[in-house]
Structure 1
């Protein structure tokens, strides 16, 4: 299978991912039926593509394995925070520290720059070595925004086994996609049929 996997080729974005990049980020590790697992940050190339598609890195950023590992580590901490929020339990201190550390990595002040022809202007520097820090800071800040917003009350996990994605619930919908909803309904129907059959 030479086709490059994107989130859209596997499943459509979960409800809320269009509003919160952090939701899209935690859902970049996808459990599928039949024991299949797809990690959209599985390789440096795939990670670079994911970051580029979301405006977090240029296409030629040259993401290395170390960067990919740091992003996957942050993703697991964010998944832990989301799980704690959904379960209504305290978050692990390590997950909170990881988010706060990531948010503090990128400078927030636009520095004074000088162009020989246009004169002074302000811009935030972003050399290649800072791309990862900026991506981590952006994802962590978006997580903090989501978890402290009224939308956090709608955060839930997909109700279709084995799906591991998070979503923002709309009404009674508890599935991240139509495919997961159909699978959950089919599983319930099968369970009812097998329970009602006499032995």
Structure 2
């Protein structure tokens, strides 16, 4: 059984995760050897930091458990959509609905505001709940752009078990990191030696 732990993870972003925040979100829970999972969004503070690093929330947004839970739910739906795409299977309707709900939940344009001293201006209000809604909409739009755009053909799952991260493939590379590539090569070498020993 997998055990979810909170720890610093010395693992570079998977290829494409810096370009697509939705890919980074999908990869924010990482499967490690030994059945361990590292959740980079395990606490509201970690969620706030993750969102701040990507320009999705201010440093002082004050994420609460409910905010982190909303991001976790979207993450699972994105992982489902990415898995469906990689496997060439139809998407789960609940995952599509979740992404479309996130896309349509926030205003599409800044609202008209009025400041007594400076007069009218346009801005998007950002109380904590709306920050989360805007972040979810941004991540959902990012995922939709990835899945419906030209990079979709490069989307793949890391080819090194037990890794569960997704990446944008470059050439023949099917690993999210050097560490996973080394592990996959070592496993292949071990399998070849075992076949030779049996012969």
Classify the TM-score, shorter chain: over 0.9
5+ residue gaps in structure 1? none
Following TM superposition, the consecutive aligned residue runs of length 4 or more in structure 1 with deviations greater than 6 angstroms are none
Shift of 1:118: 3.2
Matched, 1:106 2:106: yes
5+ residue gaps in structure 2? 1-5
Contact 2:106-2:137 within 8 A present in 1 as well: yes
SS of match in other structure, 2:34: helix
State the alpha-carbon separation in 2 of the partners of residues 84 and 18 from structure 1.
Answer: 22
State the alpha-carbon separation in 1 of the partners of residues 193 and 97 from structure 2.
Answer: 48
Moved more, 149-158 or 47-56: 47-56
State the alpha-carbon separation in 2 of the partners of residues 53 and 36 from structure 1.
Answer: 25
SS of match in other structure, 2:70: helix
Matched, 1:84 2:88: no
State the alpha-carbon separation in 1 of the partners of residues 61 and 46 from structure 2.
Answer: 12
Per-residue CA deviations over 1:15-64 (Å, capped at 9, x if unaligned) read 11121110001000100112221001111121111111111112222211
Cα 1:160–1:118 change in 2 (3 A) is same
SS of match in other structure, 2:126: coil
Give the structure-1-normalised TM-score: 0.92
Contact 1:108-1:124 within 8 A present in 2 as well: no
Per-residue CA deviations over 1:140-165 (Å, capped at 9, x if unaligned) read 11110100001001100000010000
Matches within 5 A, 1:167-182: 167-182=167-182
SS of match in other structure, 2:136: helix
State the alpha-carbon separation in 2 of the partners of residues 21 and 42 from structure 1.
Answer: 18
Contact 2:155-2:166 within 8 A present in 1 as well: yes
SS of match in other structure, 1:197: helix
Corresponding position of 2:49: 49
State the alpha-carbon separation in 1 of the partners of residues 105 and 74 from structure 2.
Answer: 13
